[in-house]
Amino acid sequence: MSTKTLGILGSGQLGRMSAQAAKALGIRTIIFTPEEGSPASQIADETIVAAYKDERALKILAKKCDTITYEFENIPLETVRYLQTLKPVYPDDQLLGIAQDRIAEKSFLSSINIPTTKWAEIHSASDIENAFEQWNIDELIIKTTRFGYDGKGQARLSRSDDLEAALDQFTPHTLIAEHIIDFECEISVIVARDQFGTTQTYGPVLNEHKNHILHKTTFPAPIAPELAERALKMTTQLAEKLSLIGVLALELFITKDGQILANEIAPRTHNSGHWTIDACAVSQFENHVRATCGLPVLPPGQHSTGEMINLIGGDINDLSAYETNEHAHIHLYGKTEAKAGRKMGHVTLLK
Ligand code: AMP
């Protein structure tokens, strides 16, 4: 048996926890990142510090790895396409392309009969006026089609707002408008799929946000079994239609009248799945590493329920309540500066 090497594009906490899972499996990891001293590099066997478009450095990465993955969706699509000419990259460029662009994402979801919020492409203030008219509403959300995260790149607008000014703040980005969903709750499901076509799912879990950043995940989501079943089915169907190899997360809204609407696909491990490290026999990170390294994915073997709390910015300065709690599993990401809004770690509280 030869040692496998997995390349990971990106170097944040998701890469770090994947590298930790790989290490336990005896799989080497090489992080490719423009950043020095990153959270993932502290764990990985090796780091290549270079720009994502540096083909010479990408060639070196490909030469050293058996397979390659990425830990966030804002990796340039050309980087993944270039690497695919040299070594397998999982998930592939089709999923990355879909997840990078809200129009591609919503169009794909509709094409496989997964319902989304009503949406429209926006190029001018009159497009927004038309959306207000056609949907017969007084408020909507506009979002940039690309590079939005944690509520960035989006704004709520009313009919009476200065629509030109609202558009100007997002220039030069392409935009969509979305119907505002008065949702009952937000949930997510994570699915892992291997090259043999086997899928394993985690969730659904309930997600609560503070300042647009995930604050708390409750596992399992306290929702009707029929809704949970539907959410699991949708996510598995998505993974199968994409011939996924790796892990993806589907973020969903549950409406007050019992509909489930897809909001966003993350083509990677997800913050709402961090609890799987402590509450499952096989975490989302292990199944991600397994799938991307050609191993079979395994049933999660969830043995506990509970909550995951994100440690944001200064939250890490007082962990005493968790440090004295035998049910609390603290995970810190090795980030030195506790900037406001920065994900510094998380705690899983098992029941
Ligand atoms: P997103 O960047 O699309 O994941 O949106 C970030 C957060 O904004 C979501 O988790 C929701 O809390 C909220 N949000 C986004 N889109 C909508 C919508 N169409 N209706 C209501 N809330 C939304």
Q: What does each C-alpha distance from 254 to 107, 139, 258 come to in angstroms?
A: 20, 20, 6
Which residue has a Cα nearest atom 15 of ligand 1? 263
**Across-strand partners of 177?**
120, 142
d(CA 345, CA 5) in angstroms, rounded, equals 26
Same domain, 173 and 215: no
Same domain, 267 and 191: yes
d(CA 336, CA 333) in angstroms, rounded, equals 9
CA angle 339, 343, 344 (to 5 degrees): 80
Same domain, 134 and 195: no
d(CA 256, CA 185) in angstroms, rounded, equals 8
Q: Residue 94: inside a domain, yes or no?
A: no
d(CA 178, CA 172) in angstroms, rounded, equals 19
Ligand 1 atom nearest residue 251's Cα? 4
d(CA 334, CA 343) in angstroms, rounded, equals 11
Give the burial class of 76: count Cβ atoms within 10 A of its Cβ; 0-12 exposed, 13-18 middle, 19 or more buried. Answer: middle
Q: What is the pTM for the complete model shown? A: 0.96
With contact defined as beta carbons under 8 Å apart, do 216 and 307 qualify? yes
Kindly state if the Cβ of 151 falls inside 6 Å of ligand 1: yes
Q: Which of 230, 240, 273 is nearest to 115 (CA)?
A: 230
Q: What does the pLDDT look like over 19-50, one tens digit per residue?
A: 999 999 999 999 999 999 999 999 999 999 99
Ligand 1 atom nearest residue 207's Cα? 10
151 CA distance to ligand 1 middle (Å): 7
Question: Candidates 263, 264, 271, 272: which one to mutate for ligand 1, based on the most atoms within 8 Å of Cβ?
Answer: 263
> What phi and psi, each to the nearest 5 degrees, are found at residue 228?
-60, -45
Which residues, at least 6 apart from 241, have a Cβ–Cβ distance to it below 8 Å? 112
The pLDDT profile of the chain, 351 residues, written as one tens digit per residue, is 578 999 999 999 999 999 999 999 999 999 999 999 999 999 999 999 999 999 999 999 999 999 999 999 999 999 999 999 999 999 999 999 999 999 999 999 999 999 999 999 999 999 999 999 999 999 999 999 997 766 778 999 999 999 999 888 888 788 999 999 999 999 999 999 999 999 999 999 999 999 999 999 999 999 999 999 999 999 999 999 999 999 999 999 999 999 999 999 999 999 999 999 999 999 999 999 999 999 999 999 999 999 999 999 999 999 999 999 999 999 999 999 999 999 999 999 999
Kindly state if the Cβ of 272 falls inside 6 Å of ligand 1: no
Kindly state if the Cβ of 313 falls inside 6 Å of ligand 1: no
Domain CATH code at residue 342: 3.30.470.20
183 CA distance to ligand 1 middle (Å): 10
Among 127, 158, 179, the domain-final residue is 179
Q: What does each C-alpha distance from 169 to 130, 174, 296 come to in angstroms?
A: 20, 12, 46
117 CA distance to ligand 1 middle (Å): 10
> What phi and psi, each to the nearest 5 degrees, are found at residue 199?
-115, 150
Q: Please give the tally of structural domains in the chain.
A: 3
Give the burial class of 259: count Cβ atoms within 10 A of its Cβ; 0-12 exposed, 13-18 middle, 19 or more buried. Answer: middle
Q: What does the pLDDT look like over 164-178, one tens digit per residue?
A: 998 888 887 889 999
Same domain, 51 and 175: no
265 CA distance to ligand 1 middle (Å): 12
Ligand 1 atom nearest residue 149's Cα? 2
Domain range spanning residue 128? 118-179
d(CA 98, CA 102) in angstroms, rounded, equals 7
